[in-house]
Structure 1
Amino acid sequence: MKIGFIGAGHVAQVLSELFIKVGHSVVLTNRHGLTRLRPIVEKLGPHAMAGNLEQAAQQELVILALPFKAIFDLDPQPFADSAIIDATNYFPHRDGELSAVQTHQTASTELVAQHFPGARVVKAFNTLPVANLANLAQQSRSAAAAKKIALPLAGDAGVKLQAADLMQALGFLPYDVGSLADSQKFQADTNLFLFAGNHAELAQKLT
């Protein structure tokens, strides 16, 4: 699969490296320009390239890996028919006060979907600590099925299948939480944030 990353920070780099290892290719873009991306893609190897926003948006799957508030500075037009994974987290101290999100009237990813009309959006890859993601993937990959680390995802049915395939390729077990509205159950202000547990443990956290 060809995956476009909007953002090229720590989250994008860690996920890119993991996806490349299981056979995918990535296009990274950021607001600082291609020159700043050169050392990153060189480190990732021949299955990574730097591109502009339009090139990243044209990939089979697009992953948002930038500060939540920066999403709303993006031109939505290139994403009109994109399959998008929102891997961001909303933090009020950084992203500003959004009372509807803070009171769980609206999921943060519902606001993302509103910003990209026509796109198909899923919330995923936002809960595990990025600094330990590679180790957790290795641990989960070698575990018995009942012990594999389960990752929540929610949103568009078709994109959930793509996200689930990526999770399984890395060694994780996908856990379908439901619609985009349900994604508020695993935002950064819930007890699933930074939680790494198996299917049964995740289900218990959700109840």
Structure 2
Amino acid sequence: MTYSIIGSGNVGSALARQFARGGIAVGVANTRGPDTIETLEKELVGYVTALTLQDAVNADVVILAVPFSAHVDVARAAGQWTDKIVVDAMNTYGVPPEALKGQPSTLVVASAFPGARVVKTFNQLPARLLAMNPVEHGGRRVMFVAGDETQATAVISKLVGDLGFAPIVLGTLAESGTLLDKGGALVLQNLIKQG
């Protein structure tokens, strides 16, 4: 399975470091081009590869770590999204409520990626905590996961576990969307699962 992170800011870089810590290869892209990712690639040599946006959207699993409004541009970068897993790691800070049309943000994202299996995770911790070793005080930092397609949710839950976090599946995107959206009860919660 191939993985890419689109976005090399605080969240994208934090995720790249977790992939490297977990010994999992990942491509990283942004809209400015692979040259702007060279420093991160050199820091995490052997695990992180700088990619163009066009190459990144060809991965089996594409993680969105871009500002919320940029997801539409990422969606346009691929000819089709059928059967790809798209992970929404974005938050909607600064997005006016009317832009979401009363829906959880990940349902809005899913509508921009027709055919993709969309899963929500990696968005509830601040980037500083997301970058830290998820093993703490004898337990593992919790990472909530939600998705409508069982197999895709299982694949991403396994990835979350392989990165060292304790995955907790909440249910479907509609059921758990408000819990993981901006201001949701589970956003900014640094929970540790023991055992």
Smaller-chain TM-score range?
0.7 to 0.9
Greater Rg over alpha carbons, structure? 1
Q: Does structure 1 retain, via aligned residues, the 8 Å contact 2:11–2:130?
A: no
What SS class does the counterpart of residue 193 from structure 1 fall into? coil
3-state SS of paired residue (2:136): helix
The offset of 1:70, in angstroms, is 1.0
1:127 maps to: 124
Query: Percentage identity across aligned positions?
Result: 30
Q: 2:81 — aligned with what?
A: 80
1:188 offset after TM fit, Å?
1.7
Tell me whether 1:3 sits opposite 2:22 in the alignment.
no
8 Å contact 1:3–1:60 — kept in the other structure?
yes
> What 5-or-longer segments of structure 2 have no aligned partner?
none
C-alpha contact 2:58 2:78 (8 A) present in aligned 1: no
1:127 deviates by: 0.2
Contact 2:135 2:141 in 1 (8 A): no
Maintained 8 Å contact 1:57/1:78? no
Shift of 1:98: 3.0
Q: Which residue of 2 aligns with 1:205?
A: none
| Structure-2 separation of matches of 1:173 and 1:22 | 14
Per-residue deviation at 1:122?
0.4
RMSD: 2.1
The answer on whether the counterparts of 1:76 and 1:117 sit within 8 Å (CA) in structure 2 is no
TM-score normalised over the length of structure 2: 0.87
- Runs of 4+ in structure 1 deviating by more than 6 angstroms, as ranges, are none
C-alpha distance 76-125 of structure 1, shift in aligned 2 (>3 A): same
Which has more helix, going by share of residues? 1
What displacement does 1:4 show?
A: 0.6
In the alignment of these two chains, the number of paired residues is 190
Deviation at 1:192, TM superposition (A): 1.3
Distance 2:169 2:182 in 1: 18
For the pair 1:117 / 2:114, whether they are aligned, the reply is yes
Unaligned runs of at least 5 residues, structure 1 = 201-207
